[in-house]
Amino acid sequence: MSTANKGKLIIFSAPSGAGKTTLVKYIMSAMDDLAFSVSAASRKKRPGETDGKDYYFMTVDEFKQKIRNGEFIEWEEVYKDHFYGTLRSEVERIRNSGKHVVFDVDVKGGLNIKKIYGDDALAIFIKPPSIETLKQRLIQRGTDDRKEIETRIAKAERELSYAGQFDVIIVNDDLEKAKREAYKVVKDFLNK
């Protein structure tokens, strides 16, 4: 298959709690020809998550072996022994099927994918209206304890400094508005 027929890449990155996963789910339901790139993770499954759908869950040792084998396009140790990464085989499988690949990845991962794929990729940064709003969302989500929330907030403050390196920044202060914006930028990119 020629590169021209290969699917494009749409990268959504954001600090934890900015609403990126909600926007990704919306885009996936609103458009055809999209396939979600399931990331690999070395963390434990959360209630309601499915292996191969939410993440490819693996042990820290399995993850490290795949790193050594060069099987990841990008990976990061987000917190101690909490690895996340994008398997090269997953991306190529989707692109070769003619579908466009949608990513829900952390900020560094998103920039790494953009660097590799260049103009074939659209990198979208989802920005929370403020750090205080982000903190409230993380508390309401109820999946992390106070210490984890503080760690995520500190990381979010660092990640916000990378926003300018993305192709598009969408501020998620009004979910319906953010959905419309995301839909438009993705549609325009795919029609280019």
**What pLDDT is attached to residue 3?**
47
**What pLDDT is attached to residue 2?**
41
- Model pTM? 0.86
Encoded tokens for 42: 């070395």
**What pLDDT is attached to residue 144?**
81
**What pLDDT is attached to residue 4?**
53
67, part of any domain? yes
Q: Which of 97, 91, 101, 115 is nearest to 27 (CA)?
A: 101
**What pLDDT is attached to residue 44?**
85
User: Domain of 115?
Assistant: 3-187
**Which CATH number is 60's domain given?**
3.40.50.300
29, part of any domain? yes
134, part of any domain? yes
Intervals of the chain under pLDDT 50: 1-3
192, part of any domain? no
Q: State the total domains in the chain.
A: 1
